[in-house]
Chain A
Amino acid sequence: MNAFFQSMERPFVDCLLLAGILVYLGIHVLARKVIFVDLALAQIAALGSVWGALLGWDIHSDPWQIKAFSLAFTLLGAFVFTVTRMRDERVPHEALIGIAYAVALGATMLASAHLAHGAEEVSELLAGSILWVQWDAIAFAAALFAAVGVFHWTCRRRFFLISMHHGEADAKGVSLQLWDFLFYASLGFVVTSAVSIAGVLLVFSYLVIPAVVAMLFADRIGPRLAIGWSVGTLVSAIGCSLSYFEDLPSGPTIVACFGGFLVLAGLVHYVARSGAARGAALLRVGGGALAFTALAAGSFLLKKDEGHDVLHVLETGNKAERMLALAEIRADPELWTRARPLVPALLAKGEIEVRVALLDLIDARKDVTLLGAVHPLLADADDSVRDKALRCVRDLASKDSVPVLLAVAAKEEDEYLKVEFAETLLELGDARGLPVLLDVMETGEAAQARRDAWEHLHAHWTFELPYRPEAGSEENRAALAALRRAWNERGAALRSGPDGVFR
C-alpha cells in the first residue's frame, strides 16, 4: 500500500486539482451548452505553441516563450467565442465551437507538417503524460487554478447569472461580452495548463462527466458542486488504484472509469425517478444488463482460431514465421522426423536465417541423411551460411564430404574459410588439405590468415622450416618452395596417424 501511495501520489494530487477546478467550470459549460469549448480552446492553444515553434522557438528549451504564444492564442480564441455568440442563436454556438475545433486541429496539423516534432506534439496533446508529472508542474497548476477559482468566487453572482439565466442578465444590462470573454479566457487558462499535463481526453472527462452526474441528481449550484466534486474525487481514486494494481496506463484508465461511473449513475437515476413503476424499471435494467453481458460474452465466440500447422508454416510462412516454426521443431524430435522431407528444398531456397537455423538443427540432430543437401551450401554466396555449413559437415564427419570439400576449397575466396575447409579435410584423414593450406600461405592477403594456415599446417605435418607468417611472401619464397616440393614428392604417400599428424 505504501508503494502505491509513493507511486501514484503525484498523479492523484494532480487529478484532485483537475477535479477541483474543472468540475466547477463544467457546471458552467453544461449550463451554457458549450460542451466542446474546452477541446476547441485546448486545440487553439496547441496551435499557438506550434506557431511559436514555427517562428523558431524550441518547445523544450524555450518553454516560456512557447507558453506565451499558446496563451495569446487562447485569449484570441476566447475573444472569438465571445463575439460569435448570437443573441437569437440563429446558428447554434456549439456549431461554431465545433468548427473552431476542427479548423484549429487542421491548422495545427498543417503547421506541424513543417515542424520536426509536429506529429509527436499533436499526439502527446491527446494522451497527456500524467504519470511523469513533477511537483513543480503541479505547484504551478495549483497556483493558476487557485487564482482562477478566487476570481470566479469573487464574481460568482455575475458568472452564474450569465450561465444560467442568460436572458435575465441581458435584461439587467450586464455587459455580456465582457463577462463572456472573462469566462472563456479563464477557462482557456485552466484548460491549457491542465491539458499540458493530463491530455485532452482526461481534461474533457473531468470537465463534463462529474457535472453531468451532478445534473442528474441536483438542481441547485451548491448540491451540484458537492456531487461533482465527490464524483471527481471518487473516480480519481478508483482510476488511480486500478491503473496501479492492474498495471494499466493511467489517463485512459481514469477516462474508462468515468464512463463506467456515468452508466451506473444513469441507471440509478432511471430507477430512482421511476416512482411507482420502480419494480418494472429495475427489471428492465436487469434485463438490459443481462442482454449486454450475453452480447459481450457471445463476441468471444468470434475469437480467431489460433491453431496452426507447424509444417505448413515452415513451407509457406515468411521468414519470421519459419524461424518460429523451426524453434518449435527444434524442441520436438517427433516433429523433426515429419519436417525432414521439407528440409532439402528449404536449404536450397530459404532465407539466410532459415538456412543457418536449419544447418544448426541438422548439426544438433547429427542427421547424416541430409548431408547431401548440406554440401551445396559449402559454396553458398553468403559467408555465414558457408561457415555454418562447414561446421555442420565437420561435426557430421563423413568421408562422403571429401570430394565436395576439395572442390569448394579450390574455389573459396575467403582465406579464413579456406583454412577451415583444409582443416576439415585433414580431420577427415585426407592429406589433400595440406596443399590448400599452402595456397593460403603463398597467396593469402591478410597476415593473420597466413599465420592461421601456417599453424594448421604445423599441427598436421611435422616439418621444420623457416617460414615466418609476419614476413612478406618474398622472404618466405624459399621455405614455401621447399614445402611445395616436399608435398609434390611425398604427398600421395602421407597417411594420418592417431594424433592427426600426417606421416
Chain B
Amino acid sequence: MQRIHRVVLIALLIAIGSERALARPLTPAENKLKVVTTLGVLADFARAVGGDRVEVEALADPREDPHFVQPRPTLMKRAREADLFVELGMGLELWAQKVVEGSGNPRIQPGEPARVVASTGVTALELPRELSREWGDVHPYGNPHVWLDPLNAKDLAANIARGLEAVDAPHAVEYEANLKRFQEQLDDALFGADLVKEVGGKMLTRVARQGRLSAWLAEKGLTGKLGGWLARAAPLAGRPVVTFHKSWVYFAERFGLTIPIEIEEKPGIPPSARRRDSVVELMQARKLRTVLHEVFYATDAAEYLAKETGAHAVVVPIDVGGEGGPKDYFQLVELWLAKLLESESAAPPAK
C-alpha cells in the first residue's frame, strides 16, 4: 500500500512538473510583455503601439456589455500574469478593479506604473450638470464611451504608450515611433491622407475638436481635399438617429449625427410607457430611419420601434474582436459607417 502511494505521488509530481513546463515554454514569447486590457479596442491599440514586444489579451467579450462583466477566476488568472493592465476608466468597467484585486498582482494595483487608465486626459462629454446628490449616480466622470470618436482613440493609444514606456523604458523609442505611426494612420483614415499632408494631423485634430472643421476648411479653400471617414460620413451630417443606450454621443459629435432621443431614459432603467411613446412619436414625426443599437442589448425595443415606425434597427458591436466581429479599430469604424450609411440611404419610412 505504502509503495502504491509513493508511486502515485511521484506520478503526480511528474505530471505537475510537466504541466508547468508545458505552460511555460521557453520560447521568444517569454520575453514579451504581457499586456492585459479590459476592452478589445484597448487591446487593439496596445498591439499597434507595442508591436512585436507585447502579447496582448482583452478580458471582455466584445459581444457582452462592457459595463457588466462577471469577474471570473480565469480573468483574475490572466491579470495575475500581466506586466501591464489597461482599463478605460471613467467608471465604465466597474468590474475591472475586482479582477485586479482578485489577481493579487501587486504591479497592477491603482496608482502603480503598470496600471494604465487609458481615458486620462480625454475630454469627457456629459459631465454632470449640477452639484447635488444625484449628479453622480450614473457617470460622475462623464460619458465613458470615449473610444467611439477616432480622435480620442489617438489619446487612448498615447496613454497606453506611456504605460509601456514606464514598464519597459529601454524600448521607449520604439513605442513612441509605433504610436506616432498609429496616430498618423488614424489621421489618414479620418481626414484622408491628402488633407493630412497639406495641413498636418495635429492642426486638423485641433480644429475638429473645436467643432469648426468644415468652416475652417471652407475658409482655407480646402473643403474638396477632405477624404477618409469624414468624407464618407458627409451624407450623415445633421441626420437624427435614435440610440438605445447613451453610448453614441462621441461618435455623433465627430460625424455630425444628432441623437434627438435615447430609448433608455436613464441608463440601465427600463423606460416608462411615456418614454416609449415619445420615442415613437418623435420617430414618426421626423420620419427617422435608424435605431442604433449595440449587439448586447435585448432587441424587443428596437423590434417594436421598427414595427411601429418602419425604421431600421442597426445592430452593431462597439468593441473589437470576437468571432466574425471587426478585427481591429479601423474595421470597427468602417462597420459603423457602412451600416449607418446603408440604413440612412434607404427610403424614409412610409408610416
Contact = CB atoms under 8 A, between A and B. Distances in A.
- Listed residue (B132, B270, B274) with the most chain A CB atoms within 10 angstroms of its CB: B270
B206 interface: yes
A7 B277 contact: yes
B198 A324 contact: no
Contacts of A382: 121
B123 A8 contact: no
B64 interface: yes
A116 B203 contact: no
A102 interface: no
Nearest to B308: A134
B202 interface: yes
A79 interface: no
A302 B70 CA distance: 35
A129 B220 contact: no
B307 interface: yes
Given A120-B65, A324-B131, A248 B121 contact: no
A117 B142 CA distance: 26
B209 A448 contact: no
Given A134-B307, A352-B121, A129 B63 contact: no
A433 interface: no
Nearest to B263: A132
Contacts of B123: 352-353, 384
Contacts of B135: 324
A306 B133 CA distance: 7
Contacts of B206: 383-384, 387, 416
Contact of A448 (B130, B199, B271): B199
Interface string B268-292: 0111111111000000000000000
- Listed residue (B135, B222, B273) with the most chain A CB atoms within 10 angstroms of its CB: B273
A489 interface: no
Interface string A100-121: 0000000001000100111111
Contact of A325 (B131, B276, B295, B300): B131
B272 A320 contact: no
A448 B132 contact: no
B140 A448 contact: no
A390 to B, nearest CB: 12
Nearest to A310: B131
Given A124-B298, A131-B270, A353-B123, A324 B129 contact: yes
B303 interface: yes
Contacts of A250: 272-273
A113 B72 contact: yes
A117 B63 contact: yes
A351 B269 CA distance: 32
Interface in A1-48: 3, 7-8, 11
Contacts of A323: 127
A11 B300 CA distance: 14
Nearest to B207: A416
Given A249-B272, A446-B203, A449-B200, A132 B300 contact: yes
Interface string B46-78: 000000000000000101110010101000000
B336 interface: no
Nearest to B220: A448
B257 to A, nearest CB: 23
A304 to B, nearest CB: 6
B269 to A, nearest CB: 7
Contacts of A320: 124, 127-128, 136, 140-142
A313 interface: yes
Interface string A318-334: 11110111011000000
Interface string B79-97: 0000000000000000000
A153 B65 CA distance: 46
A445 interface: yes
B206 to A, nearest CB: 6
A243 interface: yes
Interface in B137-161: 140-142
B70 A243 contact: no
Given A119-B64, A132-B304, A446-B199, 11 more contacts: A113-B72, A120-B65, A129-B270, A131-B272, A132-B300, A133-B300, A251-B270, A306-B133, A310-B131, A324-B127, A447-B199
The 9 closest A-B pairs by CB, nearest first: A116-B63, A446-B200, A132-B300, A132-B304, A448-B199, A249-B270, A129-B300, A324-B131, A247-B272
29 contacts: A7-B277, A113-B70, A120-B68, A120-B298, A129-B300, A131-B270, A131-B273, A131-B276, A132-B303, A243-B272, A244-B273, A244-B274, A247-B272, A247-B273, A308-B131, A319-B124, A320-B140, A320-B141, A324-B131, A382-B121, A383-B206, A414-B203, A415-B200, A446-B203, A447-B198, A448-B200, A449-B200, A449-B203, A451-B220
